[in-house]
Amino acid sequence: MEFLPISWRLQGKQALLIGGGEVALRKGRLLHRAGSAITVVAPEVCDELRQIAVDSHGAVLEKAFEVADLDGKSLVICATDDSALNARAAEQAGRKGLPVNVVDNPSLGDFIFPAIVDRSPVLISISSSGASPVLARKLRSQLESSLPARWGRLADLMARFRQPLKDKLDNVGARRLFWEQTLDGPLVEKVLAGKDSEAETMLEAAIEAADAEQLSRGEVYLVGAGPGDPDLLTFRALRLLQKADVVLYDRLVGKGIVDLARRDAEMVYVGKARDKHALPQDNINELLVHYAKQGKKVCRLKGGDPFIFGRGGEEIDLIVQEGIDFQVVPGITAASGCAAYGGIPLTHRDHAQSVRFVTGHRKDGTVTLDWEHLVSESETVVFYMGLVGLRQICDQLMAHGRKGDTPIALISRGTTNLQEVITGTLDNLPDQVEGREIHAPTLIIVGSVVSLHPKFGWFR
């Protein structure tokens, strides 16, 4: 992150705007809306910018910039078409410790102006860190068209009732949950429809009925994070992840997904690799109960789907015994996600009429499977966690009747930008990967559908 987004209160602060043309005018409009007193310095100043400076209780100095113009200012904006002047003014402002913006040259300044969606008091800023202002403006236009103008009225209504709610509920966590539940209810539609008085009555009644004990009751969310690509999260998964006070996440959950959690949430890594566990499974189960009994909303974030080789059933078992509320959010399991991104349909009328998911790593560390039922040529077999046992899997399938030229694919870090698909046959893939550095997580797909990968592979 090259720039830290902040909201800066400028009411009454003195801003120096160097430049008097169209570019300076755009910055002057924003500064004026934010309540800053603007001093404009330039040999020529356009009429609208001149009026803005006067209206802001600032000044217009029709002359060349001088170092003395920086005195008493809180921020500086260099908005001339003279790049040398902009650079010189920025350097002198920096010597005085003043934050400075150089239009169209963010590398010379300390801050940049984002594109803004204004639903005051709600403001949304969009920045490309100076890389592409056009892209930021395009994103703003998309948000402008999807956010009703009355969102600001909703924020004003909530602000008026913050103190009454605080008087009713002294627990900050309970108040946060109250607002989250309220925003998921009919109050929002009342405000957006212009029915302010009805919305106010509804909010008063909700505060009167608010129950701190019920709001503070702990709950566990068992959430499937999918195979890696953050775009494959479900809406419900994202909503509960951002609602959680505590997030327990494992090794298969990508950083891009973990970063979507609330900034103030407690993040607990409980990842497991082969024979190397950050926490044993029993400890994870107990930890979920521990946090929930403290009244916290706990998100157990698991790669793929929690009920497909994700030990979700083991974790929920203790939660049920303890009488703790819980929800289960399915995720896109690795088989369907990685196969889709690898261009390998798991079923196809010309290749496979069924698909079977099996684990290549048993609880006792062996690869003991019902091999004789895994050799049908009309069925695709997907092995989870089978990298270490790849050679044994191939040998056993051939020993029980699968042909040596049966196509097989090994997919590493599927659905991410680091995805790698290695294809071969049962009799040669183990030799292909021998000695190669293969990164987990991996998935193995066996069946003639793998032969479609060269034609259907779309994700690079």
**Catalytic residue positions, numbered:** 250, 272
**Residues with Cβ < 8 Å from 284, sequence gap 6 or more?**
248, 270, 300, 315
> Residue 407, annotated ligand binder?
no
DSSP line for 312-380: HHHHHHHHHHTT-EEEEE----HHHHHHHHTT--S-BTTTBSEEEEEESS-TTS-----GGGS--TTEE
Is 342 assigned a ligand-binding role in the annotation? no
Cα-based angle 187, 188, 194 (whole degrees, multiple of 5):
95
Assess contact for 422 and 410: CB atoms under 8 A. Answer: yes
The closest alpha carbon to 153, from 116, 117, 121, 189, belongs to 121
> CA–CA distance from 130 to each of 21, 33, 78, 115 (Å)?
21, 22, 15, 11
Distance CA 245, CA 299 (A): 8
* Residue 51, CA distances (Å) to 25, 54, 56 in order: 10, 5, 9
334 labelled as ligand-binding?
A: yes
- Amino acid letter, 112: I
- Known binding residue 81? Answer is no
Q: What is the DSSP letter of 33?
A: H
**Letter for the amino acid at 153?**
R
Residue 106 assigned as binding residue: no
| 227, 333 Cβ separation under 8 angstroms | yes
Q: Is 227 annotated as a binding residue?
A: yes
Q: Determine whether the annotation assigns residue 385 to a binding site.
A: yes
Is 305 within any annotated ligand binding site?
Answer: yes
Is 259 annotated as ligand-binding?
Answer: no
Token pair for 53: 């400076």
Q: Is 304 annotated as a binding residue?
A: yes
Residue 97 annotated as part of some ligand binding site: no
Task: Quote the CA–CA distance of 46 and 141 in Å, as a whole number.
Answer: 28
- Binding site annotation covers 67? no
The residues, ordered by sequence, that sit 6+ positions from 430 with a Cβ below 8 Å of its Cβ are: 390, 391, 394
Asked if residue 202 belongs to a known ligand binding site, the reply is no
Q: Which residue ranges make up the annotated binding site for NAD(+)?
A: 22-23, 43-44
Annotated binding residues, as ranges?
22-23, 43-44, 227, 303-305, 308, 333-334, 385, 414
Binding-site residue set for S-adenosyl-L-methionine: 227, 303-305, 308, 333-334, 385, 414
